């Protein structure tokens, strides 16, 4: 579908698995907002390790019940939609990092969008 092609913005939200919003995992709440706001989609990446603010090391430990691991949520969409979304989720985040970069989508294939309009 042509609306997914062309110049877009990549929003990356860096948080931890233990971050919460209203008692719920922050990453789940952000995904709910992605759907609610009608963004093109989002992907959550969980890392095995990372060094965050203040050079703190966060890594997977077999014996730990609760794992504070780095997460990256990546969203690609139009500039206006991304900028509005940032304003919407900013109050949800007590900790984290948000980055915004340019990208060009050259191909998007999905069985539901195989007909060009």
Listed ranges 51-55, 81-85, 109-113; the one with the highest mean pLDDT? 81-85
Q: Which helix (H) or strand (E) holds 26?
A: helix 26-37
Dist. CA 111–CA 114, nearest whole Å: 6
Selection from 65, 84, 67 nearest residue 18 by Cα:
67
| pLDDT tens-digit readout, 1-53 | 566 789 999 999 999 999 999 999 999 999 999 999 999 989 999 887 777 66
Tell how strand 49-51 and strand 20-21 pair up: unpaired
The DSSP symbol for 95 reads S
**Spacing of C-alpha 28 from chain mean position:** 10
Q: Which residue has the higher pLDDT, 47 or 71?
A: 71
Write down the pLDDT at residue 48: 74
**How many other CB atoms are found less than 10 A from the CB of residue 39?**
19
The CATH architecture annotation of domain 12-105 reads 2-Layer Sandwich (3.30)
| pLDDT tens-digit readout, 90-111 | 999 999 999 999 999 998 887 7
Model confidence, pTM: 0.82
Dist. CA 20–CA 29, nearest whole Å: 9
Write down the pLDDT at residue 33: 97
């Amino acid at each position: 579908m042509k609306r997914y092609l062309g110049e877009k913005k990549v929003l990356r939200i860096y948080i931890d698995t233990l971050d919460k919003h209203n008692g719920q995992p922050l990453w789940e709440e952000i995904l709910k907002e992605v759907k609610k706001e009608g963004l093109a989609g989002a992907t959550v990446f969980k890392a095995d390790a990372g060094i965050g603010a203040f050079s703190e090391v966060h890594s997977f430990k077999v014996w730990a019940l609760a794992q504070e691991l780095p997460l990256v949520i990546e969203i690609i969409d139009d500039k206006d939609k991304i900028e509005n979304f940032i304003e919407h989720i900013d109050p949800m985040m007590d900790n984290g990092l948000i980055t915004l970069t340019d990208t060009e989508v050259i191909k998007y294939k999905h069985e539901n969008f195989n007909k060009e309009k």
